[in-house]
Chains A and B, each alone.
Chain A
């Protein structure tokens, strides 16, 4: 065993341990702020695993997109709406947790079993390393051109949708008839909800 492979093994064990413990923390900790910060740690350790696999571009994208954008957004969202609220206790919470834990455990055992019984083609193809960006670019403009272009429609639509949901100026009257409107469903409910009485 060379020094390089020992270092690689140590890095792998350390990253995996952070990943598994962090992921458990994200799910199990009661405080959502801790969960969000641990999620950032999980994303970073995944990026580390990509680096170990010699996929530097994916690792960089992982850090930029998930840690830099997604996780920061989650933290912002938590800090903006972080108010103490005593929610009503959910009946039978213990049983529900036990059941979902059993389902997840069963799925985990199934995945482990499948992973060990499948004859994987090992070792896989050689990592392209530094040439990854060139290869990705080639694919995006040849055989993955259609999904690449379609993704731009997806992003455009998400952006417009976010603006529609977030913007404050609303129409107060019907454009055609001039009647007052309330941006609700046409089918009115018989019993008004609490939300409708709250100040807008």
Chain B
């Protein structure tokens, strides 16, 4: 940890040298040691890539594992820091909330990369740059989780977004991928501009400070109309990032056109960063506007749950179905945000962690299926049970978990969310959540039925022509590891979820901002 912290020693020296007056300019650069590990991996990937495509496909995967693995270890070491100090003169705070969400982001990148290698090589796009851009997106998302300053928030948000646009358009010879990138770029830039407008209004209210604590102080003392405007603008950006209805229009097209491993990252990593931003800004700053933003988020949550889950019923493409289902899942997580109790926040963290495993497990299965068959239509999964039991079993377990069927991890996450909502008298949200869960179970089960129940002669042409199962090609063993790992955690994690509950409630109690909000 000290070695990686020493990376920033140059910056440290500059920072302490530029001390103005009696200000205490302690950098605490160790707080960003996990990000430093990711950054080193990123630069090494780019350097290795110079040696040619063969060397890159050999060396880039281990470098990424090392970087993200050490980032996760460093995050674990930061957990429950006794004497929490803001890092970089108030730009960054490594509290337990930030650590939990950064861990979700880093883990989602790690798993997405495990899923990516074969996909990227089979499509003939360069691996080194792919890993580099994905790591940059991770870096932006990780900084976003801990940023406590409007400028840092904006720069990290842009790092995440620009890398996401590039990844969405990475299969540049495919018109759908280019379309996805262009749509994402246009809508995302508009959202960023709206955020910047809101942030500039907040900056004006503080009278020239950009720290979130200064913003919170200014908002507590003034209740002018401009505050409400800033709230709406900031909220729109957050809703865009977590794809809440009605800011969701980009989601299905972007998810359909992007390379599938990228969709896996966007649906978990990018969303986790969006929720961390929501907690930091809305709970941390807008506490005097509690009733207003909670009302807005209630509306967003109800719309997301209803529209996401109902429109998912009509989808014929697996990727589009998971896109709409992820909109619905974001609606469930928002219940925890609206509660604003200790249980609500803990349930959010817990559900994000559960969602990481079950969603990425489902993506692992559909990536493997499309690698073998070149299709992602739901109808093409008919009769898959005969040919590929592993995909069938994995996808079934993950979809059941997403739907919230009892022994799985997703059930415990969902029941905790609903429990927290019920305890906080959010009856409307809980009832809508329950009803839409039933709807979601219907379309998840219809996929499983398609795979399992069909007779061999009813199988789709794609499944009839299914290739022999071969794990020897480089990149496939990594995919298999990710798939099996995610499915095991999804299936068994529910029974052994006690450590997860402890972890989630520690994430809340170890965060001064949330403790104050629960207060």
> Is B123's CB under 8 angstroms from A118's CB?
no
Cβ of B455 < 8 Å from any Cβ of A?
A: no
Residues of A within 8 A of B343 (CB): none
Selecting from A13-21, A96-104, A165-173, the interface stretch reads A165-173
Q: Of A113, A117, A165, which contacts B172 at CB under 8 A?
A: A165
* Secondary structure dominating the interface of B: helix
Instruction: Determine if B474 and A176 form an interchain contact, defined as CB atoms under 8 angstroms apart.
Output: yes
A160 touches which of B132, B224, B257 (Cβ 8 Å) = B132
Q: Any chain A CB within 8 A of the CB of B95?
A: no
Q: Which chain B residue has the least Cβ–Cβ distance from A142?
A: B18
* Assembly CA distance A125 to B209 (angstroms): 12
Q: Total interface residues on B, using CB and 8 Å? A: 78
B519 at the interface (CB under 8 A from A): no
**Residue of B whose beta carbon sits closest to that of A166:** B172
Check: A147 CB closer than 8 A to any chain B CB.
yes
- Contact B124 A187, beta carbon cutoff 8 Å: no
Given A125-B208, A185-B257, A176:B121 Cβ within 8 A:
yes
Question: Which chain A residues lie closer than 8 Å to B229 at the CB level?
Answer: 110-111, 114
Complex-state Cα separation, A146 to B171, whole angstroms: 32
- A147 with B20: CB separation less than 8 A: no
Question: Contact string, B2-29, partner A, CB cutoff 8 A, digits 1/0?
Answer: 0000000001001101111001010100
| Min CB–CB distance B317 → chain A (angstroms) | 8
In this complex, the interface size class of chain A, counting residues with CB under 8 Å from chain B, is 35 or more
Q: Which residues of B from 115 to 161 have beta carbons under 8 Å from A?
A: 119, 121-127, 129, 132-133, 136, 139-140, 143, 149, 151-152, 154-156, 158-159
Interface residues of A in 4-28 (CB under 8 A from B): none
Whose C-beta in chain B lies nearest to the C-beta of A184?
B174
Residues of chain A lying within 8 A (CB to CB) of residue B169: 165
Q: Among the listed stretches A32-40, A64-72, A79-87, A149-157, which one makes contact with chain B, having 4 or more residues with CB under 8 Å of it?
A: A149-157
A104 CB, nearest partner CB in chain B, Å: 13
Is the beta-carbon distance between B155 and A147 smaller than 8 angstroms?
Answer: yes
Please name the residue on chain B nearest to A120 by beta carbon: B204
A residues neighboring B (CB under 8 Å): 110-111, 113-115, 117-121, 125, 138, 141-147, 149-151, 153-154, 156-158, 160-161, 164-165, 170-177, 179, 181-189, 193, 195-196
8 interchain residue pairs of minimum CB distance: A181-B124, A161-B166, A184-B174, A183-B173, A146-B91, A146-B88, A157-B136, A143-B89
